[in-house]
């Protein structure tokens, strides 16, 4: 029998500033997968963390006039505090500057690659973007500037440790091409395969302690160099599982687990789909099974950046508009491929149209009708009424549609399957008009009484299905629906509004 263990990670962002909405997207996507698999009975470990050892953090701390550790601690706290506002079910957080598991694990990874003959020292000169923390070949620049940051990279010349990436070119092409290491969506896999086919060059994995401003993890037995921050950061995925410190934990969650899933943004794909698997191959460790890549968010048509004032604080957003509204927008509007543009108007429209008017109103109507027409006692009928075929089909299809959608990392299709239940239920009510049946019943119609029982029973089943399928996406609202449907001594609780309308 295959292992029930599934390990799900986000990237670990550097903490030179407070978190923005783009990272909230990744966290919420990872949370949905974690909750979905737990709901199905898998053992899940959902991990996030912070990349404390980046040179960018050091430079930002210098600008802020603070000691690096203090600055890093302060910003890291803002990242780890997102769990509450975003409703996240995080199991573990690793902070690379503080976590006692990290350095011993990283050193072990280094030594394993050294033993494989893949590390060597050489003089290097190149163009380095501090924003990316990577060297660029002149051909990769756009008008002499970093394609990600639009800044002019600095010329760096020093002696560094290198990793023999070139040795793994064919092997990487095979594992990705064959799907042994799955990259979704296919557009991104093809991009990686294209990059690998272009030939892989060895890359620098250390820098002088001077250039690192004395910050970072020293290279084992070479204290004049610190480990390159990407090597350091990528290592978090296994050091947090006890690689080098807790063999049983590591065995359970990495080498023995059924799936090892990384969620990443498109800008860091090369590190995760090329460098990281090569490091693991060199160290003789299993590869991740899935790399799920999301695109970027823009805000009001602008790339998210501090300088253009487009930073949106996800915690503040959730406190103003509600966790459900923020999660729903991220899951319902962001496409699988292509950037999505965030505006407050779009968030508000989605929340009001679909959560308040669609889902919330539906639940309220159904519970109210059961109170008005049946004193709060739902009829004990367990099949769907004749004439409710569209609604029953939406309920029955939802689990398979959600499974298929999440398997291909398509949160929009997943939430669409949930929305289809609410939409069909609202149309069913408007078509069948239970209030007319209640009128006929009061006039003495036995058929009408039986029909109304059958309609109310159909509707309560539909909103139970709605709540159940909504669980991974909006756990708070799903819990509320399940409480509304849970009879106490046969009677349902009085209706409570599920969502407040957002004033626009």
Residues forming the site for Zn ion (CB under 5 A) = 129, 131-132, 146, 148-149
Q: In the bound complex, what is the minimum distance in angstroms from residue 181's beta carbon to Zn ion? A: 26
Beta strand pairing call for 297-299 and 206-208: unpaired
Can you tell me the distance from the alpha carbon of 389 to that of 361, in angstroms, rounded to the nearest whole number? Answer: 22
Nearer to Zn ion, 132 or 234 (CB): 132
Nearer to Zn ion, 6 or 58 (CB): 58
- Please state the φ and ψ torsions of residue 292, each to the nearest 5 degrees: -105, 120
Q: In the bound complex, what is the minimum distance in angstroms from residue 148's beta carbon to Zn ion? A: 4
Q: In the bound complex, what is the minimum distance in angstroms from residue 293's beta carbon to Zn ion? A: 18
What single string gives the DSSP state of each residue in 421-442? HHHHHHHHHHHH-HHHHHHHHH
**3-state helix/strand/coil string of 152-214:** CCEEEEEEEEEECHHHHHHHHHHHHHCCCCEEECHHHHHHHHHHHHCCCCCEECEEECCCCCC
Q: In the bound complex, what is the minimum distance in angstroms from residue 153's beta carbon to Zn ion? A: 7
Spell out a b/e string for 410-423, using b for 16 or more CB atoms within 10 Å of the CB, else e: bbeebbbbbbbbbb
Q: In the bound complex, what is the minimum distance in angstroms from residue 497's beta carbon to Zn ion? A: 47
Nearer to Zn ion, 142 or 397 (CB): 142
Nearer to Zn ion, 131 or 220 (CB): 131
> What tokens appear for 193 in the block?
């395969």
Nearer to Zn ion, 149 or 397 (CB): 149
Nearer to Zn ion, 60 or 106 (CB): 60
Q: In the bound complex, what is the minimum distance in angstroms from residue 20's beta carbon to Zn ion? A: 17
| Helices 434-442 and 411-432: angle between axes, nearest 10 degrees | 30
Nearer to Zn ion, 146 or 240 (CB): 146
C-alpha distance from residue 225 to each of 159, 208, 212, 456 (Å): 9, 4, 9, 71
C-alpha distance from residue 42 to each of 2, 3, 165, 400, 415 (Å): 11, 9, 35, 17, 21
Q: In the bound complex, what is the minimum distance in angstroms from residue 68's beta carbon to Zn ion? A: 21
Nearer to Zn ion, 154 or 201 (CB): 154
Can you tell me the distance from the alpha carbon of 107 to that of 424, in angstroms, rounded to the nearest whole number? Answer: 57
| 492 DSSP 8-state letter | P
- Please state the φ and ψ torsions of residue 241, each to the nearest 5 degrees: -95, 10
Q: In the bound complex, what is the minimum distance in angstroms from residue 189's beta carbon to Zn ion? A: 23
Asked if 233 contacts 12 with a C-beta cutoff of 8 angstroms, the reply is yes
Nearer to Zn ion, 268 or 457 (CB): 268
Can you tell me the distance from the alpha carbon of 214 to that of 223, in angstroms, rounded to the nearest whole number? Answer: 10
Q: In the bound complex, what is the minimum distance in angstroms from residue 326's beta carbon to Zn ion? A: 28
């Amino acid at each position: 029998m295959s292992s029930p263990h599934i390990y799900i990670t986000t990237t670990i962002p550097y903490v030179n500033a407070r978190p923005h909405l783009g990272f909230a997207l990744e966290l919420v996507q990872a949370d949905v997968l974690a909750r979905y698999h737990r709901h199905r009975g898998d053992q899940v470990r959902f991990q996030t963390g912070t990349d404390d050892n980046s040179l960018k953090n050091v430079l930002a701390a210098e600008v802020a006039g603070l000691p690096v550790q203090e600055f890093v601690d302060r910003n890291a706290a803002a990242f780890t505090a997102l769990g509450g506002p975003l409703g996240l079910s995080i199991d573990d957080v690793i902070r690379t500057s503080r976590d006692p598991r990290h350095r011993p694990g990283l050193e072990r990874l280094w030594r394993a690659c050294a033993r494989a003959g893949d590390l060597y020292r050489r003089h290097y000169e190149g163009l380095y973007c501090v924003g990316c923390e990577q060297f660029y070949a002149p051909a990769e620049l756009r008008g002499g500037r970093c394609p990600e940051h639009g800044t002019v990279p600095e010329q760096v010349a020093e002696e560094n440790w290198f990793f023999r990436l070139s040795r793994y070119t064919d092997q990487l092409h095979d594992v990705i091409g064959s799907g042994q290491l799955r990259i979704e969506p296919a557009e991104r896999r093809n991009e990686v395969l294209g990059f690998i086919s272009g030939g892989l060059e060895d890359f620098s994995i250390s820098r002088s302690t001077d250039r690192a401003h004395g910050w970072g993890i020293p290279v084992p037995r070479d204290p004049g160099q610190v480990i390159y921050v990407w090597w350091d950061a990528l290592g978090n995925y296994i050091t947090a599982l006890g690689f080098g410190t807790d063999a049983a934990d590591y065995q359970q969650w990495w080498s023995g687990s059924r799936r090892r899933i990384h969620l990443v943004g498109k800008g860091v794909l090369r590190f995760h789909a090329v460098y990281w698997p090569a490091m693991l191959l060199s160290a003789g460790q299993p590869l991740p099974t899935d790399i799920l890549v999301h695109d970027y968010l823009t805000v009001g048509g602008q790339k998210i950046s501090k300088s253009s004032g487009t930073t949106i604080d996800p915690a503040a957003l959730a406190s103003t508009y509600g966790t459900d509204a923020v999660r729903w927008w991220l899951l319902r509007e962001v496409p699988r491929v292509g950037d999505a543009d965030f505006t407050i108007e779009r968030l508000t429209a989605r929340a009001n149209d679909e959560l308040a008017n669609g889902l919330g109103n539906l639940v309220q109507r159904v519970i109210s009708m059961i109170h008005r027409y049946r004193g709060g006692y739902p009829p004990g009928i367990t099949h769907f009424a004749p004439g409710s075929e569209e609604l029953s089909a939406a309920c029955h299809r939802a689990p398979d549609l959600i499974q298929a959608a999440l398997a291909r990392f398509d949160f929009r299709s997943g939430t669409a399957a949930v929305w289809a239940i609410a939409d069909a239920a609202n149309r069913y009510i408007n078509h069948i008009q239970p209030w007319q049946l209640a009128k006929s019943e009061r006039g003495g119609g036995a058929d009408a009484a039986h029909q109304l029982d059958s309609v109310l029973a159909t509707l309560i089943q539909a909103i139970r299905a709605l709540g159940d399928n909504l669980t991974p996406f909006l756990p708070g609202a799903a819990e509320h629906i399940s409480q509304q449907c849970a009879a106490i001594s046969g009677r349902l609780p009085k209706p409570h509004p599920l969502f407040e309308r957002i004033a626009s």
